[in-house]
Structure 1
């Protein structure tokens, strides 16, 4: 009788161990979200923008990698910044004063025909920043 109880206990442990593996994917997802949030809090806005595909720093401000032959209206090579749907302008320093890196939820880089929605101001590309406000 004691051997049957031991076998039953081992069987129940094995089944319960299999059942918890399904929850590990949601635990991994929440862990990834937590790590992403902590990283976002420790990374400056400049570094977050610089990490976007096609963006590099020139003179300490982010610009899109483009042909040097490309002429931009007004001579400004900085992208247009849009913060939570509102156009801030073509100055990283302006947008950097308005938003804290801990409030950033998403940053998008828009170039080419998609940036034409913003007219000539978006000729050097657009960086859309969404915050958690």
Structure 2
């Protein structure tokens, strides 16, 4: 019986496939659809994207635009609509989740520049908010 030897590039491809499958099983993103999450609330700090991120690709594949009402959240599915309310003045804005983050402890959401500006003075930089999934 003759054993066929795999070429190194085929071994690499097989190893890469196994690694991708293993990592996919470790995903922390919920499998739930946004409809099942309606009413989910969270409180914490919100910040906004710096100008240097304008037109960069987000985790969802969309380009970031600071004129759009979008946001980053660690776990909510892309496309989820979230009402974000500034607890100091009760102003709110509805944003669509299209990116991952924030990656700073204590922050629950990163808003686009225009979304943040609708509910607070940009000079504040970080504000306390309540969030609620609406769809």
Higher strand share: 2
Higher helix share: 1
> With structure 2 as the length reference, what TM-score do the two structures score?
0.28
Structure exhibiting the larger radius of gyration computed from Cα positions: 1
Larger RCO: Structure 1 or Structure 2 (Cα < 8 Å, ≥ 6 residues apart)? 2
